[in-house]
Amino acid sequence: MRAEWRNGTGGTDGYAGNRRRRLPGDPTQAQRVARMIRVDQAGEFGAKRIYEGQLAVLGDTPIAPVLQHMADQEREHLDTFNRLIGDRQVRPSALYPLWHVAGFALGAGTALMGEKAAMACTVAVEEAIDEHYAAQRDSLPDDEEDLRAIIERFRLEELEHRDTGLDHGAAQAPAYRLLSTAIKTGTRAAIWLAERV
Protein backbone atom coordinates (compact mmCIF):
# COMPACT_ATOMS: atom_id res chain seq x y z
CA MET A 1 0.00 0.00 0.00
CA ARG A 2 1.41 3.37 -0.94
CA ALA A 3 1.45 6.34 1.35
CA GLU A 4 -1.29 8.89 1.20
CA TRP A 5 0.21 12.33 1.43
CA ARG A 6 -1.93 15.38 1.96
CA ASN A 7 -0.28 18.49 3.25
CA GLY A 8 -2.11 21.45 4.56
CA THR A 9 -4.27 22.47 7.43
CA GLY A 10 -5.73 19.46 9.15
CA GLY A 11 -4.46 17.01 6.50
CA THR A 12 -2.61 13.81 6.99
CA ASP A 13 1.07 13.53 6.28
CA GLY A 14 2.23 10.04 7.04
CA TYR A 15 3.34 6.65 5.87
CA ALA A 16 1.06 4.03 4.38
CA GLY A 17 -1.72 3.19 6.77
CA ASN A 18 -0.86 6.07 9.09
CA ARG A 19 -3.74 8.52 8.92
CA ARG A 20 -2.98 10.59 12.01
CA ARG A 21 -2.74 14.34 11.81
CA ARG A 22 0.72 15.77 11.36
CA LEU A 23 1.91 17.13 14.67
CA PRO A 24 4.27 20.05 15.24
CA GLY A 25 7.81 18.74 14.89
CA ASP A 26 6.85 15.82 12.64
CA PRO A 27 8.99 15.74 9.50
CA THR A 28 7.34 16.91 6.31
CA GLN A 29 7.13 14.77 3.19
CA ALA A 30 10.22 16.51 1.78
CA GLN A 31 12.13 15.95 5.03
CA ARG A 32 11.21 12.24 5.06
CA VAL A 33 12.38 11.80 1.47
CA ALA A 34 15.62 13.65 2.30
CA ARG A 35 16.14 11.28 5.24
CA MET A 36 15.64 8.32 2.91
CA ILE A 37 18.23 9.58 0.47
CA ARG A 38 20.67 10.43 3.28
CA VAL A 39 20.41 7.03 4.94
CA ASP A 40 20.56 5.15 1.65
CA GLN A 41 23.68 7.02 0.54
CA ALA A 42 25.33 6.35 3.91
CA GLY A 43 24.27 2.69 3.77
CA GLU A 44 25.66 2.16 0.29
CA PHE A 45 28.90 3.82 1.37
CA GLY A 46 29.05 1.43 4.33
CA ALA A 47 28.37 -1.54 2.02
CA LYS A 48 31.19 -0.43 -0.27
CA ARG A 49 33.51 -0.31 2.73
CA ILE A 50 32.39 -3.77 3.92
CA TYR A 51 33.35 -5.27 0.56
CA GLU A 52 36.62 -3.35 0.54
CA GLY A 53 37.41 -4.88 3.94
CA GLN A 54 36.47 -8.37 2.76
CA LEU A 55 38.54 -8.01 -0.41
CA ALA A 56 41.53 -6.76 1.60
CA VAL A 57 41.52 -10.14 3.37
CA LEU A 58 40.09 -12.49 0.71
CA GLY A 59 41.24 -10.71 -2.45
CA ASP A 60 43.61 -13.53 -3.44
CA THR A 61 41.15 -16.35 -2.84
CA PRO A 62 38.66 -18.08 -5.15
CA ILE A 63 35.77 -16.10 -3.63
CA ALA A 64 37.29 -12.75 -4.68
CA PRO A 65 35.43 -12.47 -8.04
CA VAL A 66 32.11 -13.04 -6.26
CA LEU A 67 32.93 -10.34 -3.71
CA GLN A 68 34.12 -7.99 -6.46
CA HIS A 69 30.87 -8.41 -8.40
CA MET A 70 28.81 -7.48 -5.34
CA ALA A 71 31.19 -4.60 -4.56
CA ASP A 72 30.75 -3.27 -8.10
CA GLN A 73 26.97 -3.26 -7.69
CA GLU A 74 27.27 -1.46 -4.35
CA ARG A 75 29.51 1.14 -6.01
CA GLU A 76 26.79 1.72 -8.64
CA HIS A 77 24.21 2.12 -5.85
CA LEU A 78 26.48 4.61 -4.07
CA ASP A 79 27.07 6.58 -7.26
CA THR A 80 23.31 6.86 -7.75
CA PHE A 81 22.69 8.13 -4.21
CA ASN A 82 25.67 10.49 -4.46
CA ARG A 83 23.99 11.98 -7.52
CA LEU A 84 20.64 12.24 -5.70
CA ILE A 85 22.30 13.90 -2.70
CA GLY A 86 23.67 16.58 -5.02
CA ASP A 87 20.61 16.95 -7.26
CA ARG A 88 18.23 17.30 -4.32
CA GLN A 89 20.64 19.19 -2.08
CA VAL A 90 20.31 16.70 0.76
CA ARG A 91 22.76 16.94 3.63
CA PRO A 92 24.81 13.73 3.81
CA SER A 93 25.23 11.86 7.07
CA ALA A 94 27.61 13.58 9.48
CA LEU A 95 28.80 10.13 10.56
CA TYR A 96 30.76 9.40 7.39
CA PRO A 97 34.02 8.85 9.33
CA LEU A 98 32.23 6.23 11.44
CA TRP A 99 30.77 4.44 8.40
CA HIS A 100 34.23 4.55 6.77
CA VAL A 101 35.91 2.75 9.67
CA ALA A 102 33.02 0.54 10.82
CA GLY A 103 32.22 -0.76 7.34
CA PHE A 104 35.82 -1.74 6.62
CA ALA A 105 36.25 -3.26 10.09
CA LEU A 106 33.09 -5.34 9.73
CA GLY A 107 34.14 -6.58 6.31
CA ALA A 108 37.72 -7.36 7.26
CA GLY A 109 36.73 -8.80 10.64
CA THR A 110 34.24 -11.26 9.22
CA ALA A 111 36.62 -12.16 6.38
CA LEU A 112 39.33 -12.95 8.93
CA MET A 113 36.88 -15.45 10.44
CA GLY A 114 36.72 -17.15 7.04
CA GLU A 115 34.87 -17.09 3.74
CA LYS A 116 31.64 -18.42 5.27
CA ALA A 117 31.64 -15.74 7.96
CA ALA A 118 32.15 -13.09 5.28
CA MET A 119 29.15 -14.54 3.45
CA ALA A 120 27.18 -14.58 6.72
CA CYS A 121 27.91 -10.87 7.04
CA THR A 122 26.53 -10.30 3.54
CA VAL A 123 23.38 -12.29 4.29
CA ALA A 124 22.70 -10.46 7.56
CA VAL A 125 23.27 -6.99 6.13
CA GLU A 126 21.21 -7.69 3.01
CA GLU A 127 18.27 -9.09 4.98
CA ALA A 128 18.15 -5.90 7.06
CA ILE A 129 18.49 -3.76 3.92
CA ASP A 130 15.70 -5.67 2.18
CA GLU A 131 13.34 -4.76 5.05
CA HIS A 132 14.56 -1.18 5.01
CA TYR A 133 14.22 -0.67 1.25
CA ALA A 134 10.80 -2.39 1.17
CA ALA A 135 9.51 -0.04 3.89
CA GLN A 136 10.85 2.96 1.98
CA ARG A 137 9.35 1.77 -1.30
CA ASP A 138 5.96 1.34 0.32
CA SER A 139 5.98 4.72 2.05
CA LEU A 140 7.01 6.95 -0.84
CA PRO A 141 4.36 9.31 -2.21
CA ASP A 142 3.02 8.88 -5.73
CA ASP A 143 5.13 11.75 -7.08
CA GLU A 144 8.33 9.82 -6.23
CA GLU A 145 7.96 7.05 -8.84
CA ASP A 146 11.56 7.43 -10.05
CA LEU A 147 12.98 7.11 -6.54
CA ARG A 148 10.66 4.18 -5.85
CA ALA A 149 11.96 2.41 -8.98
CA ILE A 150 15.58 2.98 -7.93
CA ILE A 151 14.96 1.67 -4.43
CA GLU A 152 13.14 -1.40 -5.73
CA ARG A 153 15.87 -2.22 -8.27
CA PHE A 154 18.53 -1.89 -5.59
CA ARG A 155 16.44 -3.97 -3.14
CA LEU A 156 16.30 -6.80 -5.67
CA GLU A 157 20.06 -6.62 -6.21
CA GLU A 158 20.60 -6.73 -2.43
CA LEU A 159 18.47 -9.88 -2.34
CA GLU A 160 20.72 -11.37 -5.03
CA HIS A 161 23.66 -10.66 -2.72
CA ARG A 162 21.85 -12.41 0.13
CA ASP A 163 21.21 -15.43 -2.08
CA THR A 164 24.84 -15.44 -3.21
CA GLY A 165 25.92 -15.48 0.43
CA LEU A 166 23.62 -18.39 1.20
CA ASP A 167 24.84 -20.26 -1.89
CA HIS A 168 28.42 -19.84 -0.63
CA GLY A 169 27.86 -21.38 2.80
CA ALA A 170 26.87 -18.44 4.99
CA ALA A 171 24.69 -20.64 7.20
CA GLN A 172 27.70 -22.87 7.94
CA ALA A 173 29.71 -19.99 9.42
CA PRO A 174 30.85 -20.42 13.03
CA ALA A 175 28.14 -19.17 15.42
CA TYR A 176 25.99 -18.19 12.42
CA ARG A 177 22.87 -17.20 14.37
CA LEU A 178 24.80 -15.10 16.86
CA LEU A 179 26.85 -13.45 14.12
CA SER A 180 23.76 -12.80 12.00
CA THR A 181 21.79 -11.32 14.90
CA ALA A 182 24.65 -9.05 15.93
CA ILE A 183 25.19 -7.77 12.37
CA LYS A 184 21.47 -7.21 11.73
CA THR A 185 21.15 -5.31 15.01
CA GLY A 186 24.14 -3.15 14.13
CA THR A 187 22.79 -2.53 10.63
CA ARG A 188 19.40 -1.44 11.98
CA ALA A 189 21.09 0.88 14.48
CA ALA A 190 23.22 2.37 11.69
CA ILE A 191 20.07 2.97 9.60
CA TRP A 192 18.40 4.76 12.52
CA LEU A 193 21.45 6.94 13.14
CA ALA A 194 22.11 7.79 9.49
CA GLU A 195 18.52 8.98 9.02
CA ARG A 196 19.03 11.53 11.78
CA VAL A 197 22.71 12.47 11.93
Tens digit of pLDDT at every position of the chain (197 positions) = 444 433 333 344 444 444 567 788 888 888 999 999 999 999 999 999 999 999 999 999 999 999 999 999 999 999 999 999 999 999 999 999 999 999 999 999 999 999 999 999 999 999 999 999 999 999 998 899 999 999 999 999 999 999 999 999 999 999 999 999 999 999 999 999 998 89
pTM of the model: 0.85
Report in angstroms the alpha-carbon separations of 166 from 89, 141, 170. 38, 34, 5
Distance CA 143, CA 68 (A): 35
51 exposed, middle or buried (CB, 10 Å; 0-12, 13-18, 19+)? buried
Quick one: fold of 30-196?
Ferritin (1.20.1260)
**Angle, CA 71 vertex, CA 69 and CA 73 arms, to 5°:** 75
According to DSSP H, which parts of the chain are helical? 29-58, 64-87, 96-112, 115-139, 145-167, 176-196
Provide CB contacts within 8 A for 8, sequence distance 6+: none
Phi/psi class of residue 173: alpha, beta or left (left: φ > 0; alpha: ψ in -120 to 50)? beta
